[in-house]
Amino acid sequence: NDESTQRAELLYYTLENTKAITRRYELMQELRTAIRNKELQVALQPKVNLITNEVIGFEALARWQRNDGSFVSPDEFIDLAETAGLISELDKLIFDKIMQSIQQFADQGFSLPIAFNASTFDLLSEDYFVEIAARIEEYGISPSLLELEVTETQAIFNYEKINACLCRFAGLGIKISIDDFGTGYSSLAHVSEIPAQNIKIDRCFVSNIQDSKSNQHIIEMIMLLAEKFGFEVTAEGIETKAEYAWLVEAGCSVGQGYYYAKPMFYDDALQWLKSRSN
């Protein structure tokens, strides 16, 4: 009957909920330990000039493998780290690894910038800025080899404060990029004030672009806006030749995506670079 079905459903949801909370709690403890032991890794995804086919840099993406060998998706553990107040520690760890990768690439004769993702918690934290600036000094790496990515959604939240924070990083000589552009709710007035050089078109608009008139209009609008306000444009998530061809036709000249390469650990990224320069 209805009542017992309802009771069974309620029990089911309660159990599922408890399971989800337990998993989150366990993950949080494990993540804390993993960060402390510096166990997180960095995967590097190339950014490519679509016209000349030249590699113009990489984006660093955090990777976390649990003790049982499984990988947790960044969408899950980044959110967890933000909730648990661990994000700045995590991002400083990733930044350290990026500095090492830049040095290793340079030793191999590749002088390529690496972009890193920052959360608004990082940007608003005094300690994060101080540590990033100190690391750059310590490693003696040119800030022009660094790019900071912050999502549009995060950048427009509290945008006056965030803009001031971004200006400090720009002041160090670091390039600023607005990530996942088109999915937030920036007003045109805010966009014009963002202290960024680059905007990254979110991959949801790029996916099957050749078949979606409305996504085509959105990308065309973003490119026009970028031209008027003087931003460079990077297309995210290019997976197919058809998407690539449409973007080139539309005048987009930089992109990243599985069509070129998935994010790779350093050794594979180096092999990939070498195999292309032959």
DSSP labels, 51-90: TT--EEEEEEEEEEE-TTSPEEPHHHHHHHHHHTT-HHHH
**Which partner from the list ligand C2E, Mg ion, none does 78 bind, CB cut-off 5 to 8 Å by kind?**
ligand C2E
- Comparison of 91 and 131: residue with beta carbon closer to ligand C2E: 91
- Residue 53 carries which side chain, given as an amino acid letter? N
258 binds ligand C2E (CB under 6 A): yes
Report strand pairing: 146-151 vs 198-201: unpaired
30 binding ligand C2E? (CB under 6 A): no
263 binds, among ligand C2E, Mg ion, none (CB under 5 to 8 A by kind): ligand C2E
Given the complex with Mg ion, which of 165 and 235 has the nearer CB atom? 235
Which of ligand C2E, Mg ion, none has residue 12 at its interface (CB below 5 to 8 Å by kind)? none
Instruction: Report the residue from 119, 120, 177, 215 that binds ligand C2E according to the rule CB under 6 A.
Output: 119
Distance CA 154, CA 54 (A): 31
User: Which of positions 32-51 make contact with ligand C2E (CB under 6 A)?
Assistant: 45
The helix/strand/coil state of 204 is helix
Name the residue nearer to ligand C2E (CB basis): 42 or 191: 42
Q: Which two tokens stand for residue 225?
A: 């806006």
Nearer to ligand C2E, 30 or 147 (CB): 147
Residues 207-226 that bind ligand C2E (CB under 6 A): none
Q: Tell me which residues in 158-197 interact with ligand C2E (CB under 6 A).
A: 179-180
152 contacts ligand C2E (rule: CB under 6 A): no
Convert residues 91-110 into a mask of x (bound to ligand C2E by CB under 6 A) and - (unbound): x--x----------------
What three-state secondary structure class fits 275? helix
Burial of 75 (0-12, 13-18, 19+ CB in 10 A): exposed
Of 49-57, 161-169, 215-223, 234-242: span binding ligand C2E (CB under 6 A): 234-242
Smallest distance from ligand C2E to CB 41, Å: 10
Residue in 232, 205, 239 with CA at minimum distance from that of residue 56: 232
Q: Return the residue nearest Mg ion (CB atom).
A: 149
38: Cβ–Cβ under 8 A, 6 or more apart, which residues?
A: 93
Give the closest residue to 118 by CA, choosing from 185, 47, 71, 168: 168
CB 245 within 8 A of CB 216: no
Contact residues toward ligand C2E (CB under 6 A) are 45, 61-62, 73-75, 78, 91, 94, 117-119, 149, 179-180, 203, 236-239, 256-258, 263
